[in-house]
Amino acid sequence: MNISARTSHRNWKAHVLGAATAAALLASTACSPNEGDGPDNGKPSGSATAPTSQAPSPSASASRETQKPDDTPSATPSPAPTKTGGGGDGALALCTAGTVSITATSADDPGESVRHVLFTIENTGSKTCAVYHYPHVQLGGARGLVPDIKLVPAPKDPYATLAPGKVAYAAMVLNGPMDEAPTKSITVQLQDRTSGSKIGEPIKVAMPGVDTLYYNDFLRVTHWTTDKALALRFIMVS
């Protein structure tokens, strides 16, 4: 991202992404962990006349390497959202621009410059829907989208389920101790099941109580979660 220079003298607090916090966020956004049976532990039979055992064939080794617990669905998987929101079998619809509203508020103390923004998405429709992954946030004047805070391991099929009138959150940190650029607008676009995908049109979001925000390459945004405190924990030092 190329950013016009503007020197910032704000104090920068280190953003610590603890392993325990990452695990908690995964638990609040992801589907139930899948469990699977491990590979067969049978040993290859040896030759009747040879003293040594026969080595496993390459195909058997490859089979063992590709069998992972996550490859086997759990006994009671959560219903996966569908693009069309089709009925039947408890399938959930994906939240879209036409069924949600998004607001942005400052997460900083009154009187402080806005460096931390909390996005709140509300299901304004009549049916339960789901939001996937993280919001695609575009700041006016920026050449690219705000990067997400990488979770290790990456969640599998992560989504937050919203009943009508319910909300989920994502938090964004704007800047650190380096040159900054201004922005006067924010748009948010939702994702499909595939990480990095886009669904529907971008949603224009009102500025969080200020006319101008300042950002730089420290920009990051969290995944959607129904836990407000958890979203903020990733971008703020307690």
What is the domain range of residue 186? 19-31+77-233
Instruction: Tell me 194's DSSP state.
Output: S
Task: Let me know if 86 is exposed, middle or buried by CB neighbors in 10 A (0-12, 13-18, 19+).
Answer: exposed
pLDDT band per the 50, 70, 90 thresholds, residue 13: very low
pLDDT digits (tens, 9 = 90+) for 79-90: 555 544 433 335
pLDDT at 186: 98
pLDDT at 237: 59
Q: Is residue 117 part of a domain?
A: yes
Cis amide linkage into residue 164, ω under 30° from 0: no
SS (H, E, C) 89-153: CCCEEECCCCCEEEEEEECCCCCCCCCEEEEEEEECCCCCEEEECCCEEEECCCCCCCCECCCCC
Q: Is residue 149 part of a domain?
A: yes
pLDDT at 152: 59
Q: Is residue 196 part of a domain?
A: yes
Q: Is residue 62 part of a domain?
A: no
Domain total in the chain: 1
Q: Is residue 41 part of a domain?
A: no
Question: Rounded mean pLDDT of 44-55?
Answer: 44
Q: Is residue 133 part of a domain?
A: yes
Q: Is residue 40 part of a domain?
A: no
Q: Is residue 178 part of a domain?
A: yes
Is the distance from CB of 10 to CB of 177 less than 8 angstroms?
A: yes
Q: Is the pLDDT of residue 115 over 70?
A: yes
Instruction: Name the 3-class secondary structure at 63.
Output: helix
